[in-house]
Structures are given as C-alpha cells and as structure tokens.
Amino acid sequence: MLSVSNLSYSYTADQPPVFAELSMKIRRGEFISVAGASGCGKSTLFKIIAGLLEPSGGAVSLAGEPSLKAASRLGRVGYMPQQDLLLPWRTVQGNCLLPWELKQSGTKADAVQQIRSLLHSLGLSGTEAAYPHELSGGMRQRAALARTLSSGSELLLLDEPFGALDALTKRGLQQWLLELWSGLERTVLFITHDLEEALLLSDRIYLMHSGGGLEEMAVRLPRPRSGQMIYQPQFIALRMELERRLHGNCAY
C-alpha cells in the first residue's frame, strides 16, 4: 500500500534535517503506529505522505505507483491532523461533504447517503444537522474521522486523534476504533505518544528516533483485542520491551 524510501526533510538548506534516510513499507490492511519523542518529525512525515510537503530527498510510492511530486498524492490519502479542524460554520454533514465537494465523484445524493450510513456506524446518528460547538470532544473526534473516511481513501493517516481527550473517553474511542477498523478494510498509519495505545491497536510499531532513524517492532498479540489486555503478562512484557527500545535510543 505504501513504500517510503530513504526519505529526508529539512525546513531550510542551512538547518540540519528533521530526519534523513527514513524507509518503511506498509502492507494493505495493516494498522501501523508511529511512536517517538516530540519534535522527531512524525507529523512532518505524515504531511509528506499526504502530499502537503515536498521532501528534501527520497521517494514515496502509493499502491505501487511512484509519486515524483508531493502534489500528485493530494487527495489520494485520508489525513486527519491532531486537531479536528471541523469548520465551525458547517454542520456535521456539511463537514463530511467536503471531500465530495473537492472530488465531485458521483452524485451529491449518493454522497449524503453514504455519509449518513457512516455517521450511523460511528454512533453519530442524529448529529447530521448539529454544529461542532454542540458536540462533546469525543463526538468531534468521531465526526472528524467520519470526514476523513468519507474521502474514500484506502490509506488513512491519523495524527494523534485521541491525544487531547481524557483517559476515559480515549479508552472508549480506542475500543471503538478497533471494532471500526476490523470492518472497514482500510490501511491505517497512526501517530501516538501513548505506548499502551500503540500496542493495543497495532500490527507493527515504528519507533522514530530523534535525529533520524526508524526501528520496527512487531506486536504479536491475538485479535480481536480489548482494553482488558493491558493487564495481561504478555502485554506488560511488550510494553517493557517498547519502553526499553525508546529509552535505550534516547527517544525521550
């Protein structure tokens, strides 16, 4: 689904690179987390994959097709940044219609029907005419994810979607995302600082180290998963190993 080869990025020519020589391969249908210290370039990596930034070097390939320019990837990837960025003057349905308005693929009536079905699957039935300020934090995040999903993209980039939520709301949304992903057949790249979240959700984790470099860690836990797994010995051992790798490479 995605191949990143020897990727590097610098904000200016006279500054050291944010990262250099990054490579990763993501298979179709995988759930992959990217973890690492603040400022190591995780969000920058996502912006490059989404086509919002031009890399200083390296290559990105989507579905086996090389993308020579970042602009060629615009609209091909579903990207949800850290903030929900819902337009306050638009309703939930109006926000979710944005991808259709940009692509104009199919009829508006079909798009509205698909959005209503999606909102129902996300537990947001009845909020179609609500405005963002009328929603709770968890509902806003689900509405933002509904907008991302309505793009129809097979590859989703989710940049700390639950980072600003309280622990109880976050745990509920993690379980909801696990159930949703298993039925959507989408490929997900997910940034998180929460190590339990990374282990609970992922097939594999890429550890992104300050100054560059990626280290891969497989998460060999059975699916389906639930929040109760965090108390099991196998999960605790994996968390200890993940912390050891992060601390051992000075990621914190």
Are residues 72 and 159 located together in one domain of the fold? Answer: yes
Q: Residues 216, 163: one domain?
A: yes
Boundary residue ending a domain (94, 129, 152): 152
Residues 15, 72, single domain; the answer is yes
pLDDT, position 164: 67
pLDDT of 248: 66
Q: Based on the fold, state whether residues 189 and 199 are members of the same structural domain.
A: yes
Q: What are phi and psi of 214, to 5 degrees?
A: -120, 140
Which CATH number goes with the domain that contains 222? 3.40.50.300
Number of domains forming the structure of the chain? 2
Query: What is the model's pTM?
Result: 0.86
pLDDT at 252 (0 to 100): 34
Domain carrying residue 121: 86-152
Residue ending a domain, choose from 100, 120, 152:
152
Co-location of 24 and 72 in the same domain? yes
The domain boundary residue, chosen from 152, 175, 190: 152
96 and 214 inside one domain: no
CB 19 within 8 A of CB 208: yes
Same domain, 59 and 90: no
Check if the beta carbon of residue 125 is closer than 8 Å to that of residue 144: no
> Is-contact 8 55, C-beta < 8 A?
yes
Same domain, 236 and 176: yes
Query: Is residue 191 domain-shared with residue 203, that is, in the same domain?
Result: yes
Spans in the chain with pLDDT lower than 70: 164, 211-212, 248-252
Cα separation, 146 vs 91, whole angstroms: 13
Do both 22 and 125 map to the same domain? no
The answer to whether 51 and 76 are in contact (CB under 8 A) is yes
pLDDT per position as a tens digit, 40-54: 889 999 999 999 999
Q: Which SS3 state, helix, strand or coil, does residue 178 take?
A: helix
What confidence score (pLDDT) does residue 250 get? Answer: 41
Q: What pLDDT is attached to residue 251?
A: 36
Q: Phi then psi for 5, rounded to 5 degrees?
A: -125, 120
Same domain, residue pair 163 and 63: yes
Q: Are residues 10 and 56 in the same domain?
A: yes
